[in-house]
Structure 1
């Protein structure tokens, strides 16, 4: 495989290829996650009880507030990359979470509770939701890594993360607790937030560290929450696992997760949950691009499995230089689907 052949073969299968189809700039309120204005924007905006900042991680507004606090606290490092913090590469996390909320993926799909439903507790995030559990490791863990890295300075209170009502052992709730359970993952997120403090801060370095931590979070959470997939339809469960695999390929390019790029990319993700009978590329209420993303993700995942992970290894090797990553991103942005 030459690098160009590998890039073209892999990117042709990649979900981000379809994202390049978008010619619509996302403008207005739609650029932000749902209820963004209602979320706490500072740690001291959360309730304080018994000298502790109390964060309900299983409430959408609070989890969104964790992201908003991270974005606000890190804004000073990304000022050169876009106005109004739009160049902050942390935008990918809350925007992805907002998409999960908007499409109903954070609700209880076991049928056991009304958690996450409009006629029930809309802002509730279910511990039975595969997406919500996976996201915990891309929300609370990065947040605690940032606390440890000193992003928020010296806080006047300790932080208390409230546990879910069940399956409490699947999660950690403090810097000390998380560090004892998953030191490598906490180290990765701490390293990302520390590089932002560096005087020789480079965006590519920050993207590399962020994606490394992101991929580690998914790798840690994926086997842990296999049992939550049983609550999803077969097409939705397949999509979830395909998406997790696809992120590995996107990560290797140091793809920028700023506000505009993420919004453009996310427009091609399915805007509702998949149900039995959904067979891409023939889902009638999905756009051709959304259907194509699902087909591409499935093909990419299958190809990687069939090669025993060799496809991803080759892709990572091709992306190991700045020139390779630049070419990879260019292909992700410009390659048009046939």
Structure 2
């Protein structure tokens, strides 16, 4: 796990993970479920009344948003692997695919058949905490890219269909989102601005140094963290539909993103795919107790325990661990990794927290 989290800009601090073979990259299970069936072009979505109409509450169509983002940014990542494998946007659709595959996008209240095999399997439930959080990591990045001009001059406006419930908790067009969440739109637009891509990937075209990729990762993670920070309090009430272990895991995972972002974790296809093997492959239920969930691997149990430890550390230190990691750049990222390592292998205690807090102050 730690090898996967080492930042590109700090490779000199530790040995990098060995590269995977091309055969690994071509396996079908690397991609999100139904990836080949997702719309490849914006014109593959419904066009009605001079608008491209997208149902973001359908798994295949939401997946299509990611596919279009990846397709339109391919040329900026050619130096980082063939077939667009080095594109750092892969983390978003792979996470979405993991949520779909593990049943986290289905209606957790079981009031409807949304998301279930005996109902509408591709339906994304607005009652799902995971799906609502993911909206701000799917639709908002997509609309930010539209506003930034990533897709060029579009022949039609983009319209996102609203869910059946909680319509006021979302926005549905560039203008609508610009009006309601301007700062969040700015963060994603900054990542997708064509001149930013040009700066990061063409000025350094002679060497394609890790610095250029690290700069892009900085902007991407900044927007990613901002999306979660905005959505987390908004959908706090949706956690009531989940079991206590699953709700705790959701909050632990949202908190851990701050730490992962601080390391500038590279969310390319292969690295993200390897990382997700450590995540739970089903929803947690009542009675699941860490670190002894019988049908989880030892690594999955350990990672869940580590996420819990990181969340506890942030609560006890008032999030100072995260913010110090973010402010200390390369050293700070190495610090975060050291802290994660200790909490990963041993239960977190007050002495450990005190030790790392003193290091931050010094």
> TM above 0.5, one fold?
yes
Equivalent residues of 2:262, 2:322 under 8 A apart: no
**Partner residue, 1:306:** 316
Equivalent residues of 1:75, 1:88 under 8 A apart: yes
Deviation, 1:134, is: 0.1
- Classify 1:240/1:16 alpha carbon distance in 2 versus 1 (closer, same or farther; 3 Å): farther
- For residues 300 and 159 of structure 1, the distance between their equivalents in structure 2, rounded to whole angstroms, comes to 39
**Per-residue displacement from partner, 1:98-134 (whole Å, max 9, x unpaired)?**
0000000000011210000000000000000000000
TM-score, structure 1 length as denominator? 0.89
- What are the equivalent positions in structure 2 for 1:258-337 lying under 5 Å apart? 258-318=268-328, 320-321=329-330, 325=333, 337=345
- For residues 46 and 153 of structure 1, the distance between their equivalents in structure 2, rounded to whole angstroms, comes to 17
- For residues 332 and 105 of structure 1, the distance between their equivalents in structure 2, rounded to whole angstroms, comes to 26
- For residues 48 and 316 of structure 1, the distance between their equivalents in structure 2, rounded to whole angstroms, comes to 43
- Does residue 203 (structure 1) correspond to residue 213 (structure 2)? The answer is yes
Equivalent residues of 1:89, 1:259 under 8 A apart: yes
SS for the counterpart of 1:155 is coil
Higher RCO structure (Cα 8 Å, ≥6 apart) = 1
- For residues 329 and 226 of structure 1, the distance between their equivalents in structure 2, rounded to whole angstroms, comes to 29
- Does residue 33 (structure 1) correspond to residue 36 (structure 2)? The answer is no
TM-score, structure 2 length as denominator? 0.83
**Per-residue displacement from partner, 1:74-118 (whole Å, max 9, x unpaired)?**
001011101000000000000000000000000001121000000
- For residues 289 and 103 of structure 1, the distance between their equivalents in structure 2, rounded to whole angstroms, comes to 18
Equivalent residues of 1:16, 1:332 under 8 A apart: no
Deviation, 1:238, is: 0.2
- What are the equivalent positions in structure 2 for 1:1-338 lying under 5 Å apart? 28-194=27-193, 195-198=196-199, 199-200=202-203, 202-318=212-328, 320-321=329-330, 325=333, 337=345
Unaligned runs of 5+ in 1: 1-10
**Per-residue displacement from partner, 1:278-327 (whole Å, max 9, x unpaired)?**
00111000000000011000011001101111221222233x24x65478
How many aligned positions are there? 322
Q: What is the CA RMSD across the aligned residues, in angstroms?
A: 2.6
Equivalent residues of 1:26, 1:264 under 8 A apart: no
- For residues 293 and 336 of structure 1, the distance between their equivalents in structure 2, rounded to whole angstroms, comes to 7
- Classify 1:15/1:87 alpha carbon distance in 2 versus 1 (closer, same or farther; 3 Å): closer
- Classify 1:293/1:177 alpha carbon distance in 2 versus 1 (closer, same or farther; 3 Å): same
- For residues 193 and 281 of structure 1, the distance between their equivalents in structure 2, rounded to whole angstroms, comes to 40
**Per-residue displacement from partner, 1:133-176 (whole Å, max 9, x unpaired)?**
00000000000000000000000111110000111000000111
- Classify 1:226/1:324 alpha carbon distance in 2 versus 1 (closer, same or farther; 3 Å): closer
- For residues 16 and 100 of structure 1, the distance between their equivalents in structure 2, rounded to whole angstroms, comes to 21
- For residues 85 and 68 of structure 2, the distance between their equivalents in structure 1, rounded to whole angstroms, comes to 15
- For residues 169 and 215 of structure 1, the distance between their equivalents in structure 2, rounded to whole angstroms, comes to 22
Equivalent residues of 1:58, 1:125 under 8 A apart: yes
Unaligned runs of 5+ in 2: 7-16, 205-211, 347-362
- For residues 105 and 255 of structure 2, the distance between their equivalents in structure 1, rounded to whole angstroms, comes to 20
Deviates more, 1:196-205 or 1:213-222: 196-205
- For residues 260 and 277 of structure 1, the distance between their equivalents in structure 2, rounded to whole angstroms, comes to 33
- For residues 83 and 26 of structure 1, the distance between their equivalents in structure 2, rounded to whole angstroms, comes to 10
SS for the counterpart of 2:283 is coil
Equivalent residues of 2:325, 2:333 under 8 A apart: no
